[in-house]
Amino acid sequence: MTIWDKGKKTDERMMEFTSARDRELDQQLLWADIAGTAAHVVMLGKTGIISAEDSKKTVDALREMFKDSLEGNVRIDKDSEDVHSFIESYLEKKTGEAGKKIHTGRSRNDQVMVAMRLYMRRNMNEICNLTDRLFLLLLNYGEQYRDMAMPGYTHMQVAMPSSFGLWFSAYAESLADDLKAIRYAYSMVNQNPLGSGAGYGSSFPLDREMTTRLLGFEELNINPIYAQMTRVRAEKAFAVAIASLATTIGRLATDICMYSGENFAFIRIKEEVTTGSSIMPHKQNPDLAELIRGRCNILQNLPQNINMLAANLPTGYHRDFQLIKEVLFPATDTIKDCLDMMHLLVSNISVRTGISGDPRYTYMYSVEEVNRLVMKNIPFREAYHKVALKIRKGEFAPGRIVKHTHTGSTGNPCLDKIEEKYKRLRGSIPFDEADKAIEKLMNT
């Protein structure tokens, strides 16, 4: 069934090309489109655009459908063009004439935008929950290994003394900064486009403020043309947040691959989360880390994929927008999988002790020796040349005690400040308010 059917048969090949994947992808939007429809129908009844009786009958059926959809008991049938036509057909069977009125004052354009916003909002919450778990693990490792030395590198060469505590907590703080991208994405997503119709409003006396409150949106997309313009902007902000997290996780995966290899041997991955070789019996391959890295590299291109879908489009709706689901939905699942698997991977890492005593890392103490001379009132550049000369002559024999006390150093990693930063940013994203609004709408 197509809700735009005018009685003339449409070419089946065209229909297959234009909507073949919609039913599959729209299954993920089902609960969201039901909720958006419920808010719209409540508003139609309150404003008198439809009768209070028809509104109540339809909303009751939508609440039942919502519950069944969350339990996985409702599937979009093959005869429906998409989730929107499926809901309308479902309600018509359940409520008769009342179900035919749900599209009053609405277009599929603002309808799908609302569903997408609710989908992204909920998935951002789930992504943040998975990020919380990984953040806490990395921060705990930062505390556990705060005094355990390891060499730092620049240009892939031994540079200066570092610690496992700094390494683990660096990625914890990176996750905190990733929350900034999520916070911005949430602010873009958490605006209500319902009532903008096809981009030019409606002659019905819609109460857009009411649907904004009912769906837990922070504010309205006021201008109806701009509301349609945000269809890519909101999704791209969400994609940027996904890509930001992917950058952090992918880089950590690279470090784990490198540091677990025999040439570094800084860490060991438990055998349970490695794979073997078909020919070399000694191998324990970091396949999990490599696949996380590969998937995260793909995710980092997500904003550009979405951007290019709308790169040369004029104002107004275009069917191109439908393709956003084909890249955004799988990417959303992938970032959640990568966060989950990175937690599993890091949980199965053990750290090697005594690394700093290895002769290969002698020169990482060169800066410490320069600084020791500077503290004796020798100018820095002169101290630098003295130490460089000793190294060139093979006479460099430094002490291996490092005493850093400044904020964020090996001796003072300030893990409490990193935790406070994360909690502050996490608390600035009001997921609870949105969840309570949907719960109230669909369960009252």
- Convert the pLDDT of each residue in 386-418 to its tens digit: 999 999 999 999 888 888 999 999 989 999 999
Residue type, 400: R
Q: What percent of the chain clears pLDDT 90, i.e. is strictly above it?
A: 85
pTM score? 0.93
pLDDT digits (tens, 9 = 90+) for 191-213: 999 999 999 999 999 999 999 99
Q: Look at residue 232 and tell me whether its pLDDT is greater than 70.
A: yes
Q: How far apart are CA 312 and CA 232, in angstroms?
A: 12
pLDDT digits (tens, 9 = 90+) for 358-384: 999 999 999 999 999 999 999 999 999
CATH architecture type of domain 12-101: Orthogonal Bundle (1.10)
- CB-based contacts of 234: which residues, under 8 Å, 6+ apart? 116, 117, 120, 185, 188, 189, 191
Q: pLDDT-derived band of residue 8, with 50, 70 and 90 as boundaries?
A: low
Please say whether the structural domain 108-357+407-425 has been given the CATH code 1.20.200.10: yes
Q: What is the mean pLDDT of residues 73-77?
A: 92
The predicted pLDDT at position 259 comes to 97
Q: Look at residue 297 and tell me whether its pLDDT is greater than 60.
A: yes
Helix (H, G, I), strand (E, B) or coil at 160: strand
The predicted pLDDT at position 4 comes to 47
Helix (H, G, I), strand (E, B) or coil at 1: coil
Any idea where the domains of the chain sit in the sequence?
A: 12-101, 108-357+407-425
The predicted pLDDT at position 2 comes to 57
Beta strands 149-154 and 157-163, pairing class? antiparallel
In terms of Cα–Cα distance, which of 352, 356, 355 is closest to 402? 356
The predicted pLDDT at position 80 comes to 85
Ranking 33-37, 136-140, 191-195, 393-397 by mean pLDDT, the lowest is 393-397
Q: What is the mean pLDDT of residues 138-143?
A: 98
pLDDT digits (tens, 9 = 90+) for 265-288: 999 999 999 998 889 988 899 999
The predicted pLDDT at position 20 comes to 56
Output the CA torsion sign for 368, 374, 380, 381. Answer: negative
Q: Look at residue 323 and tell me whether its pLDDT is greater than 80.
A: yes
Q: How far apart are CA 214 and CA 441, in angstroms?
A: 6
Decide if 149 contacts 354 (C-beta within 8 A).
no
The predicted pLDDT at position 370 comes to 95
The predicted pLDDT at position 357 comes to 87
Q: Look at residue 117 and tell me whether its pLDDT is greater than 60.
A: yes
Q: What is the mean pLDDT of residues 340-353?
A: 97
Q: pLDDT-derived band of residue 11, with 50, 70 and 90 as boundaries?
A: low
Locate 414 and state its tokens.
């300030």
* pLDDT mean across residues, the chain: 94
The predicted pLDDT at position 414 comes to 95
Q: Look at residue 17 and tell me whether its pLDDT is greater than 80.
A: no
Locate 409 and state its tokens.
């150093």
Angle made by CA atoms 204, 208, 214, in degrees to the nearest 5 = 130
Q: pLDDT-derived band of residue 6, with 50, 70 and 90 as boundaries?
A: low
